[in-house]
């Protein structure tokens, strides 16, 4: 039983490395500000319009592959992926890392966590 738990833990850690480390909203803010990075909001248009992080780029998860060129200037800067609760960001992180992005991060808890911390948002 212990070997199975160890194998599962190693698999989870390996998958996490492929998609990028997780950051709390505060860590994400600090990193983006300090290193001139970008927040990329992966949610659909309706959710984005209801409220998003100031200056976040909106690239819905379904369009990420075809629109990743829009992030070309951030290949060597922090790219923080944001979705509703943090799950879609893992998949997106793997895609961007495979496309040569060096500093890809997931914001843990997504916009649900951001909102619960009462951090500022803008709506369009």
Q: Is 61 a catalytic residue?
A: no
Set 61, 83, 107, 111: catalytic member: 83
Taking a C-beta distance cutoff of 8 angstroms, is the pair 99, 122 a contact? no
- Whole-number Å distance between alpha carbons of 112 and 118: 10
Give the distance from CA 77 to its chain's centroid. Answer: 13
C-alpha dihedral, 87 to 47 to 68 to 57, nearest 10°: -110
The DSSP 8-state label assigned to residue 24 in this structure reads -
Q: How far apart are the first and last CA of the chain?
A: 52
Q: Which residues are catalytic?
A: 83
């Amino acid at each position: 039983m212990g070997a199975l738990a160890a194998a599962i833990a190693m698999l989870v850690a390996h998958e996490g490395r492929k998609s990028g480390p997780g950051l709390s909203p505060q860590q994400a803010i600090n990193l983006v500000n300090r290193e001139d990075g970008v927040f990329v909001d992966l949610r659909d248009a309706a959710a984005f319009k209801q409220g998003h992080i100031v200056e976040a780029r909106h690239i819905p998860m379904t369009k990420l592959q075809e629109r990743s060129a829009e992030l070309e200037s951030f290949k060597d800067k922090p790219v923080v992926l944001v979705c509703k609760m943090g799950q879609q960001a893992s998949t997106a992180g793997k895609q961007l890392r495979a496309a040569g992005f060096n500093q890809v991060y997931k914001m843990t808890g997504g916009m649900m966590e951001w909102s619960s911390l009462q951090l500022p948002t803008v709506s369009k």
